[in-house]
Amino acid sequence: MHRYDIVILGSGLGGLVCGAILGKEGYKVCIMEKNRQIGGNLQTFTRDKVIFDSGVHYIGGLAKGQNLYQIFRYLGIMDQLKLQRLDLDAFDVVLFNNDEREYKLAQGYERFIENLVRDFPEERDAIVRYCDTIREVCAKFPLYNLRSGSYFEKMEAVEIGAKSFIDSLTTNETLRQVMAGNNLLYAGVADKTPFYVHALVLNSYIESAWRCVDGGSQIARALARVIRQHGGEIRRHAKVNRICEAEDQVQYVELEGGERVYGERFISNIHPVKTLEMVDSPLIRPVYRNRLKSLENSISVFILNIVLKKDSYPYEKRNYYVYKNKDVWDGMDYDEQSWPKNYALFFSASSKSDEFAEGATLMAYMKYEEVAQWADTFNTDSQESDRGESYRAFKTRKAEQLLDLMEVKFPGFRQHIHAYYAATPLSFRDYIGTDDGSMYGIAKNFNEPWRTFLSPRTKIGNLFFTGQNLNLHGILGVTFSALVTCAELLGWEKVVEEIKRG
């Protein structure tokens, strides 16, 4: 009977980073992925010859010497990535329908401050304090700064609310909204989202903001190469159905079809609640299951991937966050009439043209309840099935509503569209394997911060968690989550030292 050192369940970024690190450290790794394509939210797909990202649209911290750069260099993938830096003057632009101005968020703190001061000349002190606090909060997270440190350093920082802190800086209502203007990046909720989430995410983009040329799946492919170079295996179409424990240890996982895969240690990149549903063991007590089940997931999204007519719409190296009203925190509080209240617009970076955009993506919040009537359908590229005419009509209706809102700030955009393709919470549910298509997994809450920080350890000694549900979502956040998981096996000092050594 073959037995791997490490069996990883799911090939999302977290699973792949764990596989690469542990493979490099000499462990024999095997990753089980249910889909045809590896990468989870890093998956890309092509429509009318245009490449679209399913999840990731831009990444921070990748300039030489910055945190993600150092980790990717250590992993051996940095020089394999085709990246494009976004506009230094504006990686993100915040727009409000009832305001003519464009509020630009720039890369580099100096430029970031000067841009905002130009828009709000009376508010320099508030803007500087905002930036100083972002940096102070980031400094309290040791791993984020690639150093070892105490868990307790971040204690004060985790209890600050994003909205309340930002609001406390100034009475200027527009500036408050602009400072929180890209909160779709972390699905910000006014009375729950901690300021540290805002700070860790925004700081990485202020440091440097990048798009993946021809899609983010290149990160997954590069990590897969590292894993294979170190003797690891990645199995696709390998859905884990059961995690089988005996004598206080997971012995094997059982795949759809009945095959058993044995290992010494198991790391689950699958949502923790879904992971535990597969475990039948007295070690997982109801109270632990219920605690995890009671944690709220972040909302899901409706995505419109737009193929643009050839050489028709100029390519822009910036993203837009657009709001119907001047309230960036109320996007999730919608009904049939008021949806969508806001959206993000991203352009696809293509190696074919820098002048004209080939594709654009619109992203707006959507609650799972909206698609619950089609809950008993399932559709992915490895298991295709038609969700029916009513679902198609729903998608078209929503797509047109979203384009109507877009036309307010981008008049005439429709005439550049060749075709569009929509994804709903059901698409995310089916591809990622969650119950509700949540974008970023378990949502953080400053009112009960420690409840929403999950440990990579489970109640079974050789079963660990990794991925966006632990510390933080996003490419940077998940990479750190994977380091936290690997540190359980290798020790903190070793992980940090190896990364610094490069």
Q: Which of 50, 240, 399, 489 binds ligand FAD (CB under 6 A)?
A: 240
Pick 281 or 471: Cβ nearer ligand FAD: 471
| Min separation Cβ 266 and ligand FAD, Å | 12
Q: Do 184 and 331 meet the contact criterion of CB atoms below 8 Å apart?
A: yes
Contact set for ligand FAD, span 318-347 (CB under 6 A): none
Contact set for ligand FAD, span 82-141 (CB under 6 A): none
Query: Does residue 32 bind ligand FAD (CB under 6 A)?
Result: yes
Pick 59 or 495: Cβ nearer ligand FAD: 59
Contact set for ligand FAD, span 413-432 (CB under 6 A): 428, 432
| Min separation Cβ 246 and ligand FAD, Å | 20
Query: Does residue 174 bind ligand FAD (CB under 6 A)?
Result: no
Pick 32 or 276: Cβ nearer ligand FAD: 32
Cα-based distances in Å from 48 to 4, 58, 306, 358, 415: 41, 22, 10, 10, 17
Contact set for ligand FAD, span 292-321 (CB under 6 A): 301, 303
| Min separation Cβ 127 and ligand FAD, Å | 25
Q: Which of 8, 10, 187, 308 binds ligand FAD (CB under 6 A)?
A: 10
Q: Which of 131, 307, 478, 483 binds ligand FAD (CB under 6 A)?
A: 478
Quick one: tokens of 399?
């797509």
- Sequence-distant (6+) residues with CB within 8 A of 4 are 28, 29, 30, 261, 262, 263, 264
Q: Do 144 and 157 meet the contact criterion of CB atoms below 8 Å apart?
A: no
Contact set for ligand FAD, span 265-294 (CB under 6 A): 269-270
- Sequence-distant (6+) residues with CB within 8 A of 333 are 341
Instruction: Give residue 261's identity as a one-letter amino acid code.
Output: V
Q: Which of 4, 27, 52, 58 binds ligand FAD (CB under 6 A)?
A: 58
Pick 300 or 462: Cβ nearer ligand FAD: 300
Strands 342-347 and 319-323: antiparallel
Residues facing residue 423 across a β-bridge: 303
**Cα distance between residue 478 and residue 250, in whole Å:** 24
Contact set for ligand FAD, span 373-402 (CB under 6 A): none
Query: Does residue 223 bind ligand FAD (CB under 6 A)?
Result: no
| Min separation Cβ 35 and ligand FAD, Å | 5
| Piece in contact with ligand FAD (CB under 6 A), picked from 29-37, 86-94, 174-182, 388-396 | 29-37
Residue 406's region, left for phi above 0, alpha for psi from -120 to 50, else beta, is alpha
Query: Does residue 57 bind ligand FAD (CB under 6 A)?
Result: yes
Pick 227 or 363: Cβ nearer ligand FAD: 363
Quick one: tokens of 501?
């050594």
Residues facing residue 255 across a β-bridge: 240
Query: Does residue 40 bind ligand FAD (CB under 6 A)?
Result: yes
HEC string of 7-64 equals: EEECCEHHHHHHHHHHHHCCCCEEEECCCCCCEHHHCEEEECCEEEECCCCCEECCCC
User: How many residues make up the chain in this entry?
Assistant: 502
Pick 176 or 395: Cβ nearer ligand FAD: 395
CA atoms within 13 A on the CB side of 209: 26
Mapped onto helix, strand or coil, the DSSP state of residue 490 is helix
Query: Does residue 203 bind ligand FAD (CB under 6 A)?
Result: no
Q: Which residues in this chain contact ligand FAD in the complex, by CB under 6 A?
A: 9-15, 32-35, 40-42, 55-59, 239-240, 269-270, 301, 303, 363, 428, 432-433, 439-440, 467-468, 473-475, 478
